Amino acid sequence: MKGQKDAPSDWGCLVGVCFFILGLGTLLPWNFFMTASLYFQGRLNASNITDGSENNNSKYFNSCMTLLSQLPLLLFTLLNSMLYHRISEAMRIAGSLVVILLLFIFTAVLVKVEMDANRFFDVTMATIWFINSFGAVLQGSLFGLVGMLPQKYSAVFMSGQGLAGTFAAMAMLLANASDAESESAALGYFITPCVGTLVTLFCYLLLPRLEFARYYLHRSTKYEPGTTDELLTALDNGKLNGHANGSLAGSPKKDGASEEGDGEARRDRSKEAFLSVEQVEKKQAKASIIEVFKKIWVMAFCVTFVFTVTLSVFPAVTVDVKTSSPNFRTALPGNWERYFIIVCCFLTFNINDWLGRTITTVIRWPRKESRLFPLLVVSRVIFIPLLMLCNVQDRSFSPVYFNSDIVFTVIMAFFSISSGYFVCLSMSYAPQLVEAKDAETAGSLMTFFLALGLSIGAALSFPLRKLV
């Protein structure tokens, strides 16, 4: 049987590049909608409300967007972890990418469509719901897929996810800095993820044509190729029944008893063969979800807590931080206020989140068995009050302690780098805590708890924003 030492090489790192782009593609929907929050709020404020009702949509847009992004993520990740074996992998991954592409095209077209604020809000929220529903199926399926490969590919996949936010922030920055009118800039911004999703789909379709990917991804069957045949061959050759065959061969047989003895020996060997095959089947049968959870629950808690802290303040609270130097001139067209949130909030968060994920390809500390790991994860809760005490406007209760743009940027940098680092460690450690045959189940479960943390954080963002 082919051992892992005989695995083909990843020629030209093509499999690594494919999983990096697949990771980027899974978070394009969330990041492009989140980074475009200023565009959505501007359009909500500028639109005419035909029924004369008061426009509160822009005020709660960020919290509603975060919640309606994470609730379907939680629901469909749970469904995917339970039903993934009933729907083909190609349908879950390629099908989700096609639907996400169509929804991005719809959003781009919507830039040119005039409608009142209430209707625009409803249509946008419905789009966010559906695009994140299919994104959840895509993400859960890909986490299960990458869990079958060596650990470094999980880190590469997570690094790609971290770059998705930077990609979206840079696209928004270029759109804002362009001389094009706001409508044309927004159209160009939303066409960008359409191209990115097409490239992601191409990378997925390329994987079955790469020998390295086929070697690992086709080992998820119930039996390793040739296991039963090799076992029976070994039994037939006396490798597993050596002492019995030896005693039969070494003992003299009478002519009358020879045929009877041979018959009994064959029956004994046949019985032992069936028992041995049954043991192999039992060993290679996948463990239940509960059994896998018992082995990975610490990592599941860690990824849940990390995202609970992160989504409770980002972007619902951080996007409302105002610059202390609004009239500062920049090298780009316009003043600093125009770029402050894009640079100090979104770009800073996403670059450092990606950096934190990428660091895990070189440094993995603490180890997965260390009790220090969950303690460090819990300690991130300190970032919630720190960010709430920055210059968030409008505010009702707490005072501003950190008015400086530099202080806010530094807090955001540590906040995001720790988020990316601990998320990536948790997600890459979990498949190592189970047997190879259960790696896909562990990956799907971890994706559910990742979504659970996002949903809890999104729900907490409402009261936390009101407490500022």
Rounded Cα distance between 421 and 359, Å, is 7
pLDDT at residue number 280:
47
DSSP one-letter string for 155-180: HHHHHHHHHHHHHHHHHHHHHHHSSS
Give the rounded distance of the alpha carbon of 319 from its chain centre: 23
Domain ranges in the chain are: 10-221+286-467, 227-247+261-284
Average pLDDT over residues 268-280: 52
Q: Which of 463, 449, 440, 450 is nearest to 146 (CA)?
A: 440
User: How is residue 166 written in tokens?
Assistant: 């930077």
- Answer with the residue of higher pLDDT: 169 or 183: 169
Q: Is pLDDT at 449 greater than 50 in this prediction?
A: yes
CB half-sphere exposure, 10, CA atoms < 13 A: 14
Cis preceding-peptide flag for 315 (omega within 30 of 0):
yes
- Global pTM reads 0.72
Query: What is the DSSP-derived secondary structure letter of residue 181?
Result: -
Helix segments in 285-363, DSSP class H? 289-313, 340, 348-359
Grade residue 253 by pLDDT with cuts at 50, 70 and 90.
very low
Q: What is the mean pLDDT of residues 181-198?
A: 87
CB 396 within 8 A of CB 416: no
Cα 56 to the center of its chain, rounded Å: 32
Residue whose tokens read 């959840």: 136
Provide the residue count of the chain.
468
| CA–CA separation, 167 and 182 (whole Å) | 20
In the predicted structure, residue 287 carries a pLDDT above the cut 90: no
Which of residues 90 and 50 earns the better pLDDT score?
Answer: 90
Q: What is the pLDDT of residues 90-114, one digit of tens each?
A: 888 999 999 999 999 999 999 888 8
CATH number 3.30.2270.10 given to 10-221+286-467: no
pLDDT digits (tens, 9 = 90+) for 5-35: 567 788 888 999 999 999 999 888 888 888 8
pLDDT-derived band at 215, boundaries 50, 70, 90: confident
* pLDDT tens-place string over residues 383-429: 999 999 999 988 888 889 999 999 999 999 999 999 999 998 998 89
pLDDT at 81 over 80: no
% of the chain exceeding 90 in pLDDT: 32
DSSP, res 287:
P
